Copies of this chain bind each other. A is one copy, B any other.
Amino acid sequence: MADDVVTGAEALVSAAAHSGADLCFANPGTTEMPLVAALDRITGVRAVLGLHENVCTGAADGYARITGKAALTLLHLGPGLANGLANLHNARRANTPLVNIVGDHTSTHLPYDAPLTSDIAALAATVGTVHTVTDRASIGEATRTAFDDAHRLLGVSTLIVPADHQQHSAPVQPVKPAAMPSRAPVSVEAVQNVAQRLRTAGARAVLLLGGNALSRKGQEAAGRIAAKTGLALYSETFPARAERGGGLPAIDRLPYFPETAAAVLREAQAVIVAGAEDPVAYFGYDGVPSVLTQPGTLVRLARPHEDAEEALLELADLLGGVDPVRPGPLSESPGSGEPLSGRTIGQVVASVLPENAIVSVEGGTSGYPFYTASASAPSHTVLTNTGGAIGQGLPCALGAAIAAPDRPVIALQSDGSGLYTAQALWTMAREQTNVIVLIAANHTYNVLRTELGRHGNAEFGPQATALTSLADPRVDWVALARGFGVPATRAATVAELRHTFTDAVGIGGPSLIEMAL
């Protein structure tokens, strides 16, 4: 900046850049125009356009999961924020540091309740902290505070900025940068306490990993502990980010359905949670306990915001951990003529997976089988849907690809959830991201048919059938992808998937393969 006087918008962009922001997933409108102009005047923050705000927020989540620092979004008023709330909900559940900048009407215009006026702060408060800029002078400090919140709380923080405060000019006021994200350390006493519990429980213990316990170091330490004591290892069911493969111990996810998950934990004298939430049922059902652990067995080594990785390293040393058990090579390889199913897709994807890939997994059809198969795959990173708001997988893959342009990204995506944010394909094309989208196209909301059965409805009437079917008409993903500028093809057998996926990995993304189930 040559001048001493900058607009509020320029002060905001400058403060964001000083707090570590280098990218902004944006869909701005009229009330954000000074910010859009400022992005050209202040260097350091590159804007990436999404065709829908839920693409922006989901991409920001994926970006932050890979970079480890707060991602930035720019959204238009209450409706723009509302459109992005579902993936902000997922980001909240992922403990992702994320800052939303939301424009509002010029402050003097707010009392007139113009058509686009709404309660932005109430919406934002459902996913995290909220700050509202009340004058031009405080805009830099307010931006820093928003980043501080995101980094300190590992969560979502929203800054509401009326258009006049963006537009007015004032002398530059230096703003010190926000603190970078960090995790609170676990006390020595807590580690010692867990060590004591594990010495008593021996093999009748479960260690449940989440948060940064799912780093390579964390899982190695957990593997050493398991090899020493014989305890069982699980990952939380929907990790924000889990390293996997490349010789890491094979650590399955805690099962999804509460009866199965409770059965896994039933015999344990101690269930140690390290970076994971206390294990509870995903949904409540009549006669099925919400709490999955037996009374008195739950022991918290590290909460999701704490440094579970370091705690596990200390624990492994205390217990005298030994070399972990490594998974063998991929045991099963489906025949070329076999039809595609969740199982065969998981095996093919795991067997073709390139080294150092990022895999964004959304949907049960191929998600679970892939996880089972991928323990033996090359080293990769898995991102999952942490909050259950569907439409997360494609935006998350997009954000991850922009965060790590040198890594191949695979989006292993069910069709029903993929249709929520198919617009992400367009930004994948525009940004020339190396994302290969694999759509498991069974043309049903299959999980709902299972749930209908669980609610005692063995036979579906015509309305229940229609409400869980995407088959009439069949969505043509190849056409959709081409509509958004992404080359696409279709695979119907194991051989076709192996062939097209191998080709796609060789060429590099973006591309899409519709896997016909």
Contacts and interface: CB of A to CB of B under 8 A. Distances in A.
A93 interface: yes
Interface of A: 26, 28-31, 33-34, 36-37, 39-41, 46-47, 49, 51-52, 54, 78-79, 82-83, 85-86, 89, 93, 105-106, 108-110, 112-116, 118-119, 122-123, 125-127, 163-164, 167, 238, 280-286, 290-291, 386-391, 416, 419-420, 422-423, 426, 429-430, 447-448, 451-452, 454-457, 460-464, 466-470, 472-485
Nearest to A29: B448
Contact of A283 (B114, B454, B466, B483): B114
A86 B89 contact: no
Nearest to A472: B430
Nearest to A26: B467
Given A33-B455, A79-B388, 12 more contacts: A29-B448, A30-B451, A37-B452, A49-B467, A79-B86, A85-B85, A114-B284, A118-B127, A419-B423, A476-B483, A479-B479, A479-B482
B290 A30 contact: no
Nearest to A283: B30
In the A-B complex, the 6 residue pairs with the closest CB atoms: A109-B284, A40-B461, A473-B485, A79-B389, A106-B284, A480-B483
Contacts of A426: 419, 473, 475
Contacts of A482: 476, 479
Contact of A79 (B112, B118, B387, B477): B387
21 contacts: A26-B467, A30-B447, A30-B451, A33-B454, A37-B464, A39-B461, A39-B464, A46-B463, A47-B466, A51-B419, A82-B85, A83-B85, A83-B391, A114-B282, A115-B386, A116-B388, A118-B126, A163-B283, A167-B456, A478-B483, A480-B484
Contacts of A472: 430
A33 to B, nearest CB: 4
Contacts of A79: 85-86, 89, 387-390
B126 A291 contact: no
Nearest to A449: B33
B83 A455 contact: no
Contacts of A105: 283-284
Contacts of A280: 112-114
Task: Point out which of A28, A163, A389 has the most chain B C-beta atoms below 10 A from its C-beta.
Answer: A389
Contact of A52 (B82, B386, B420, B474): B420
Nearest to A112: B280
Given A37-B464, A167-B455, A281-B109, A119 B115 contact: no
A448 B86 contact: no
A108 B290 contact: yes
A337 to B, nearest CB: 29
